Chain A
Amino acid sequence: MKTFTSVLRSAVLAALVLSPALAAAQNYPSKPLRMVVPFAPGGPNDILGRLIGQKLTEAWGQPVVVDNRGGAGGTVGLEAASRMPGDGYTVAMGGTSNLALAPSLYAKLAYDSVKDFTPVINVAVVPYALAVNPTVPAKNVKELIAVASRKAGYLSYGSSGVGSMSSLAAEMLKSMSKTDIVHVPYKGTAPALTDVVSGQIDMMLADLALIKRHADTGRLRMIGVTGLKRSAAAADVPTIAESGLPGYELSPWFGVVAPAGVPKDIVGRLNGTIAASLKSQDVIQRLGGLGYEPLGGSAEQFAATIKSDIAKYAKIVKTAGIKSEL
């Protein structure tokens, strides 16, 4: 009898010890989730994070608390997220800039995009477009390169800051077309775009949706999109590659990551639920309004994308000679 009690006791004990891991997966989610958004409220990253959060809440009945931690191009928030427990209750809305570009840009980056995170799902691709002020005599990329080649520093381009996606896209264009275009950095996309509209500077690469607003009213001329294929949002605009610069391709994305060490089945549940929501009509519509194209796919595919993009951007940064000592 005594043996039975002790066996029972150890069985209970074993169950207690093992249960957190087991129960965690079975009962998941049993408490509210945290969605770290590494930018201030109101930006595309924030809107996307909240949309995904809302969809998770609808599916699971658990509230998703959005935690905005902006700063240093989205790296402050990701760093904070990387230090949180990898139990599936913390996720973060990352993107090309802070997951794939930051490792080669910032020498002192406090996280490793591959080792410190569990990729969950690639959410959406953000098509970028090249726009010029209508006074610039170039109807396509080929003509633009011709104009820029007349004289070094003849044209100027605006960006949302050194090392931002918009400056990277322009530097890539410069180094591939062997032109010298003056870089005028701004603090954020909006003021830079304002100055392209008003003709203070000549051109800019930015979110297609932002550029389209001004292109529709004739304030800007959109001459190319950065993707491999034309964007559904502006089907009449050719890709930069077909418009005069073969081989040019840039497809920034947003994706959900979690801190390292999240159990596989929890990642699967997160991935499945978000993937399903990306197929729902209202999400497609909301993303379309922002000019984004929903992606989806498995966590493994996302992991592969992050890895290959880290290598890709390292190469671009090296060729273009951009650096930051942060």
Chain B
Amino acid sequence: MLETFNSLMMGFAVAFEPKVFMYAVAGCIIGTLVGMMPGLGPLAGISLLLPATFGLNPIIAIVLLSGVYYGAMYGGSTTSILMRIPGEAASVMTCVDGYAMTQNGRAGPALAIAAIGSFFAGTVGVIGLMLMAPTLASFALRFGPPEYTALLLMGLFVLAYMSGGSMLKTLAMAFFGLLLGMIGIDVMTGYTRFSFGLVELGDGVGIVPVAVGLFGISEILMTAGQAEPPKVQKPKLRELIPSREEFRLSVGPIIRGSLLGFAIGIIPGSAHVISSFVSYGVERRLSKHPERFGKGAIEGVAGPESANNSAATGAFVPMLALGIPTGPVTAVMIAAIMVHGILPGPMLIEQQPELFWGFVASMYVGNMVLLILNLPMVGLFVNLLRIPYAYLYPCILAFCILGCYSVSNSVTDVWIMLGMGAIGYGLRKFGFDLAPVALGLVLGPMLELSLRQSLAMSGGTYAIFLERPIAVTMFGLALLLLALALKPVLFKSRDWRADVGLDDKTDGAPPGK
């Protein structure tokens, strides 16, 4: 324990070296700017910057990249809240209530709570990482395809709590998302499905173009379709600070989101993207006023934002402790230090203590820098809303196209984004909620792959799911979730849905209409 503390102090000494600290700050600033580009999220941010780090020393390289990573996550929530444009899958949920808050004139509090929640979650993540990395990592290794299947199934049942409209519409949209997830090469057999002969569709439909199209582009189209231009907001300084009530409501979601996110984050694989969806579902389920969700509930921003930040930190546990990348982001990070001939893994802590602890400390420093940097900037960001829509929206559209293209230099992605924008516009006109599409698209391919991997392992028998304790426990939880969701349907008891009204036509409508 004392040893850990001493090592961490050494780490802070490294992180606060002027040169290293400068790069941490630079990373956070670059990351925030990249994240604010519509469609560009953390992965795109660090992939674009990776080549620039090859000439730096490995500690600085990883400090810079983790700064960019956290910065981009924060920047992504800024655009989600202000413009309904998610930078990545994890901030889709933030779009829903965050943007609704903006329309209610509460953009400042939403941004501030997102920053505070992220900071708290980052702290929880770093402490967890520091104290429990070796233990957690070996536990995480017990997660094989069957456990993964159970976890993802749980994620799917969260759907029931995700949307305020009719259950039928929610399920229809989730189904649409799952169908989109079918596109591409079937990993088990190598055959392509629904690719219409386009090589670019071979790897499937990316979540970023779909999310930006469905949420961002459709919003621009909706606004353009109104008879009168929406009023430009003039936020006052007083309105930037969250009210006491908003703080009170956010405490629980932030704590729960942080713990939940960290737990999901340490599991190897890409499951951490579902942490924000799960957190949103949990908060809605626990809330006394679930009908407020979707119309600017601060809990709907606080929970998912915290969850996605601590999941990001949790994802570093298997990477640092075992040298196993947990997802694309950590894979790029590993590449960044491997270029310098350093192999991450169990030996890293002993062989490169400055790198390991410097990295841990700099993650914390990065979180702090972001908070200090971003709280005063909230006012500046909110002022973006003062720009008349006639100028703002064409610029956003241009940036969406630019951002979407630069992720993988693919024009196909741009077309997918624009097509999804049109589909999203149509669906919203009919009162469909779009968040389930994103969840379906994220979950579908992962669920299918892990289910079929499990069955390949067991030679086709489903008994494999009952033989493994972790999987059984999670299936139990998933069934419980399902039962809770079905209860009002089966017993015709008064559900919160009754208070919401089946056809939620207010979705997407501007304030004051």
Q: Which residues of A contact B (CB under 8 A)?
A: 40-43, 46-47, 50, 66-72, 75-76, 79, 108, 110, 153, 156, 161-163, 182-188, 190-191, 193-195, 197-198, 200-201, 213-214, 216-217, 285-286, 289-290, 322-326
Contacts and interface: CB of A to CB of B under 8 A. Distances in A.
B200 A71 contact: yes
Interface in B60-102: none
B423 to A, nearest CB: 23
A76 B200 contact: yes
Interface stretch (B34-42, B139-147, B245-253): B139-147
B230 interface: no
Interface stretch (B115-123, B124-132, B163-171, B334-342): B334-342
Interface in B309-356: 318, 322-325, 328, 331-332, 334-336, 338-339, 341, 343, 345-347
A83 to B, nearest CB: 13
B203 interface: yes
Interface in B467-500: none
Nearest to A47: B339
The 6 closest A-B pairs by CB, nearest first: A162-B190, A42-B335, A200-B144, A289-B341, A198-B141, A72-B202
B456 A184 contact: yes
Nearest to A72: B202
A196 B298 CA distance: 43
Given A72-B199, A72-B202, A163-B190, A213 B268 contact: no
B144 A195 contact: yes
Nearest to A79: B199
B187 interface: yes
B179 interface: no
A50 B50 CA distance: 11
Contacts of A286: 339, 341
A185 B187 contact: yes
B18 interface: no
A183 B456 contact: yes
Contact of A41 (B141, B322, B332): B332
B197 interface: yes
B189 interface: yes
B188 interface: yes
Interface in B173-205: 185, 187-192, 195, 197, 199-200, 202-203
Main secondary structure of the interface of A (DSSP, over half): mixed
18 contacts: A41-B335, A46-B335, A67-B409, A70-B408, A72-B199, A76-B199, A153-B459, A182-B456, A184-B145, A186-B449, A187-B449, A188-B331, A190-B324, A191-B268, A194-B268, A194-B324, A197-B324, A217-B345
Contact of A185 (B143, B188, B197, B322): B188
A42 B323 CA distance: 15
Interface in B415-435: none
A115 B504 CA distance: 59
Contacts of A42: 47, 50, 331-332, 334-336
A325 B50 CA distance: 34
B202 A186 contact: no
A282 to B, nearest CB: 11
Nearest to B202: A72
A162 B408 contact: no
Contacts of B323: 213-214
A195 B50 contact: no
Nearest to A163: B190
Contacts of A195: 144-145
Contacts of A216: 347
B188 A71 contact: no
Contacts of A201: 457
A200 B51 contact: no
Given A42-B335, A47-B335, A70-B408, A213 B144 contact: no
B453 interface: yes
A75 B199 contact: yes
A3 to B, nearest CB: 55
B335 A43 contact: yes
B203 A186 contact: no
A184 B195 CA distance: 23
B459 to A, nearest CB: 5
Given A42-B331, A187-B449, A289-B341, A50 B187 contact: no
Nearest to B268: A194
Given A41-B51, A156-B457, A285 B341 contact: yes
B54 interface: yes
B141 A68 contact: no
A71 B202 contact: yes
Interface in B210-248: none
B324 A72 contact: no
B225 to A, nearest CB: 35
Interface in B245-267: none
B410 interface: yes
B269 interface: yes
Contacts of B143: 198
Contacts of A200: 144-145, 457
Contact of A71 (B318, B335, B408): B408
Contacts of A182: 456-457, 459
Interface string B40-60: 000000011011001000000
B72 to A, nearest CB: 15
Interface string B150-164: 000000000000000
A326 B185 contact: yes
Contacts of A197: 141, 322, 324
Contacts of B187: 161-162, 185-187
Nearest to A66: B51
A72 B185 contact: yes
Of A67, A71, A75, A286, most B-chain CB atoms within 10 Å: A71
B192 A326 contact: yes
B203 A184 contact: no
Contacts of A183: 456
Given A71-B410, A190-B324, A200-B144, A41 B50 contact: yes
A38 B65 CA distance: 23
Nearest to B455: A184
A322 B190 CA distance: 9
A186 B453 contact: yes
B296 to A, nearest CB: 37
Of A40, A188, A323, most B-chain CB atoms within 10 Å: A40
Contact of A69 (B197, B409, B456): B409
A43 B144 CA distance: 24
B478 to A, nearest CB: 20
Given A41-B51, A194-B324, 5 more contacts: A68-B47, A70-B203, A75-B199, A200-B457, A289-B341
A149 to B, nearest CB: 17
A198 B140 CA distance: 9
B408 A217 contact: no
Nearest to B335: A42
B457 A213 contact: no
